[in-house]
Structure 1
Amino acid sequence: MTALRIALVGCGDISAVHLDAIAAHGDAELVAVCDVERSRLTAASQRWDVTPYPGFESMLEAERPDVVHICTPHAQHAAMTTAALRRNVNVLVEKPVATSMADAQEVQRAAEGGSAIVGVCYQNRYNNTSQALRSLIDTGALGALRGGRASVDWFRDNSYYERRPWRGTWAEGGGGVLINQSIHTLDLLQWFLGEVVDVRGQASRLTLDDPVEVEDTASIVLRHRGGAGSIFQATNSYIDNAPVMIELLADRATVRLENDLTVTYTDGQTLFVAADGIATGEKAYWGLSHERLIDDFYRHVRRRRPFWIDPAAAMETLRIVTDVYAQSDLARRRPGRWPGASLDRVAR
C-alpha cells in the first residue's frame, strides 16, 4: 500500500511536533512544506529533504497531497482549510479552527459539501488521563456530574509576543490567552461536562504592554446542558507555568486532573491514573499527544470515516471564546474584521 502523501504549511514552532510525528509514522510520506518566510522554508525543506513552496495554493496544485497539515497563524486557518477541502484534500488543522464563528461555519459548510476529511488538533483529548476520565463519565461510574472548575496559570511576557508578533494581534492571532494557550483546557472542560448553553465572562489585558493588543487574563462562568455549572480562569500573568488543573464534582466522586488523574469516591475508595508523560516548559500547553491524534486521523483518512474532532466539535469551544470576547471591554478595542491575507502569504 502506498503511503499517504503529506504536505505541511507553516514551518514555525508547532510544525516541529507535526513533522516529527509524520516522520515517525509508518503510513505517511512528507512530500512538501510551505512558508512565506524563506529562512524557515529553506530550513524545513533541507531538514526533511522535500520540495519547498512559498505559496499554499501552488503547493496543493503541484503536489496534490492526500493530507495537508495547517500550522499557520490562527487567522489563516479557515481560509486555507476551506481551500484544501474544495480541492478534495484531507486537512488536519491546528487549533483554533477559525478566529470567528462565521469563518468556522464556512469551514463546516466546505466539509459537508465534499468528501474530504477534516480534523482539528485538540490533542489533549488523547492524553491517557483525559481518556480515562472520559471513560468514567461515559460508563456512569461517577454518577451525575454537578459541576467543575478549571484553571490555567502561566507566564507569557512581551518578549514571547516579540518573537512571533502575530500572536499579539487581533488580526492574526484572534486573541490571547483564551484562544491561544488555554483553549485546550477549556475544550476539555466542555468535553467532560457537556454542551455549554450559557456563557458569561470577561477577558482583560492586565499586564501586557503595547504593542501587544490581546488579553492576558480571562474569567468565565458556564452553564451546561443538563444543569451542571462550571468556572474557568486563565492568565498569562503568573510568575511561572503552573500545572493545568481541572476539577469535577459528581454525585459519587470528586475528580481532580492535574497532570495525573485522582478520583476520590464518596465511599472512600480512590482511583489514581498516572499521566504517561508530562510536558514541561513554555511549550507544555502542546502536551504529548499530537502523535496519537495524527495517527488516529490518518486511520480515519484510510478508512474514509469522518474524524470525531471535526469543525462542529471545535466550534463548541470556539463559541465560548468568541462569546467572552464579545462581552469584554477589550472587545471594543478590536479592529474591524480582518479581511484575510492571500493564501500564498503564510507564516508561523
Structure 2
Amino acid sequence: MKREFGFAIVGTGLISTTHYEQISAIEGAKVVAVYSRKEEKAKSLADKAGADWYTDYHELLKRKDIDIVSIITPSGTHADMAIEAARAGKHVIVEKPMDISLEKAQQMIDVCREQQVKLSVISQHRFDASAVKIKDDIDSGRFGKMVLGQASVNWYRPQSYYDTSKWRGTIKMDGGGVLINQAIHTIDLFQYFMGEVESVYAHTAILAYEGIEVEDVAVATVKFKNGGLGTIVGTTAAYPGLSARLEIIGTNGTAVIENDQLLKHYLRNPNNESEAINLANIQHHHGADQDHASINPAALDGASHRLQFIDMINAIQEDREPLVNGEEGLKPLKIILAIYQSARTGQPIQIEGF
C-alpha cells in the first residue's frame, strides 16, 4: 500500500461490523467516518473504529480524507447515496443488491464512470478460494460444456427479523425478499460459473410471514445462453435454518459448494477417469457456520470481504476496474428482477443485455 486510504462506513446495519473489522485489518486502510440517521448507532460504531460520526451525509462527503465510501444502507437507497458520493469525488463500494431498480443501478454505473471514480459491488464469495478454483477450471475448459446448475438457499428468519426494521419486507425499500436479500450471493456465483442467462420462468409466494410485501419462498427455472439449464430455490422459512448450496455440473466436471465450503470437486482426466480434487489443499475463507443460515449476516467471519476491499484499493492504485465492478454487480440483479417479473406475469422472461 503506497498510502493510507480513508474509508467512510455509510449505514450501521447488521453487516457494518464486518465492514469495520475487515477494513481495519488491512494495512494502509482506516475507517475515518461513520454515518447513520440514528445518532446513537453512528456513535457506537464510530467509537469502536476510533472514527468521527455523522448524521448528515452531505457533511461527511465534504471530508478530504475520505477516499472510499462503503454503503450498507437499506437497498432502495443505494443508488442515490452512491451517486452523491461519486459526485463528491469518492470511490464507491456498495453492498448487495446494488439497488432495487435496474434503472437506478445503471445510473450509478454511469455517474461513477462520468466522475472517474471506481465502483465495486460486494460479491465477496467470488473471492473465496473455492470459487476462484472452480472459475479457473471452468474458464480453462476442464469442466467441459456447462449443462446444469442448481442453487438453493433455505434459510430461516424469525418474524422479528421483519418486524424490528420497518424497511425490511417492503417493496419500496427492500425490493424483494429471499432472492434479492439472502440468495443473491448464491445466484451471483450460479451465473458466474454457468454463464450468461437467456431466460427465467418462476413462481414466488408469501406463505410464512405476516406484514411483508415480498416473497418468502421462490422457485425458478433458468435457461443459459450456452444451452445449459438450472434451478433457483429460496426461502427464509426453513426452520431452524438449513444451507446455501450450489451444484455446478459440466460434461467433464462437477462441484458442490455448501455454506461457503467446497464439498465436492471432480474432474475427468485425459484418461477418461474421474479425478477427485484434494479439497484439503484448497483454503476456505469461511467455515460451515450455521449462524448465517439462521440468524444474521454478522455471523460471517468476513475474510472474503477483506479481499474485496483490498481489490478496490489495488484497483484505485493501478487505475483498473475492480474485479466486481458495476456491470458485474448488475448481473444477479437482472436475474432476480426477471424472476419477479415472471412470477407476476406467469410468463417466461427473456433477459436482455446480459
Normalised to the residue count of structure 2, the TM-score between the two structures is: 0.88
> Does 1:122 pair with 2:123?
yes
- Counterpart position of 1:270: 276
Contact 1:123–1:293, Cα closer than 8 Å, also in 2: yes
SS at 1:226's partner residue? coil
Within a 5 Å distance, the mapping from 1:172-191 to structure 2 comes to 172-191=173-192
Gaps of at least 5 residues in structure 1 are 332-348
In 1, Cα distance between equivalents of 2:118 and 2:243: 33
More divergent stretch after superposition (268-277 vs 87-96): 268-277
In 1, Cα distance between equivalents of 2:27 and 2:17: 18
In 1, Cα distance between equivalents of 2:195 and 2:210: 36
- Counterpart position of 2:82: 81
Within a 5 Å distance, the mapping from 1:228-239 to structure 2 comes to 228-239=228-239
Runs (4 or more) in structure 1 with deviation over 4 Å come to: 284-287
SS at 1:166's partner residue? coil
1:305 to 305, 309, 320: 320
Contact 2:255–2:262, Cα closer than 8 Å, also in 1: no
Q: CA deviation at 1:287?
A: 6.5
Q: CA deviation at 1:20?
A: 0.4
Letter of the 1:115 counterpart: Q
- Counterpart position of 1:283: 296
Contact 1:255–1:262, Cα closer than 8 Å, also in 2: yes
More divergent stretch after superposition (318-327 vs 270-279): 270-279
In 2, Cα distance between equivalents of 1:64 and 1:14: 23
Letter of the 1:280 counterpart: Q
**Alignment CA distance shift 1:9-1:330 (3 Å):** farther
**Alignment CA distance shift 1:263-1:2 (3 Å):** closer
- Counterpart position of 1:154: 155
SS at 1:220's partner residue? strand
SS at 2:62's partner residue? helix
Contact 1:64–1:89, Cα closer than 8 Å, also in 2: no
Q: CA deviation at 1:63?
A: 4.2
Within a 5 Å distance, the mapping from 1:206-245 to structure 2 comes to 206-210=207-211, 212-245=212-245
Contact 2:242–2:290, Cα closer than 8 Å, also in 1: no
- Counterpart position of 1:39: 40
In 1, Cα distance between equivalents of 2:183 and 2:201: 17
Letter of the 2:275 counterpart: Q
Contact 2:109–2:119, Cα closer than 8 Å, also in 1: no
Higher relative contact order (CA 8 A, sep 6+): 1
In 1, Cα distance between equivalents of 2:266 and 2:118: 40
1:314 to 329, 334, 339: 329
Contact 1:262–1:272, Cα closer than 8 Å, also in 2: no
> Does 1:62 pair with 2:68?
no
- Counterpart position of 1:140: 141
Deviations for 1:36-88, whole angstroms, at most 9, x for unmatched residues?
11110111122222211101121101345111110111011011111111222
Normalised to the residue count of structure 1, the TM-score between the two structures is: 0.90
Considering only aligned residues, what root-mean-square deviation do their CA atoms show, in Å? 1.8
In 1, Cα distance between equivalents of 2:43 and 2:157: 29
**Alignment CA distance shift 1:233-1:68 (3 Å):** same
Letter of the 1:168 counterpart: G
Gaps of at least 5 residues in structure 2 are 347-354
- Counterpart position of 2:253: 253
In 2, Cα distance between equivalents of 1:198 and 1:129: 27
- Counterpart position of 1:346: none
Q: CA deviation at 1:164?
A: 2.3
In 2, Cα distance between equivalents of 1:229 and 1:223: 5
**Alignment CA distance shift 1:218-1:286 (3 Å):** farther
**Alignment CA distance shift 1:161-1:97 (3 Å):** same
Letter of the 1:132 counterpart: K
- Counterpart position of 1:323: 338
In 1, Cα distance between equivalents of 2:142 and 2:274: 14
- Counterpart position of 1:344: none
- Counterpart position of 1:337: none
In 1, Cα distance between equivalents of 2:80 and 2:177: 21
In 1, Cα distance between equivalents of 2:68 and 2:186: 27
What is the percentage of aligned positions where both structures have the same residue? 28
Contact 1:35–1:41, Cα closer than 8 Å, also in 2: yes
Length, aligned pairs only: 330
Q: CA deviation at 1:240?
A: 2.3
Contact 2:4–2:28, Cα closer than 8 Å, also in 1: yes
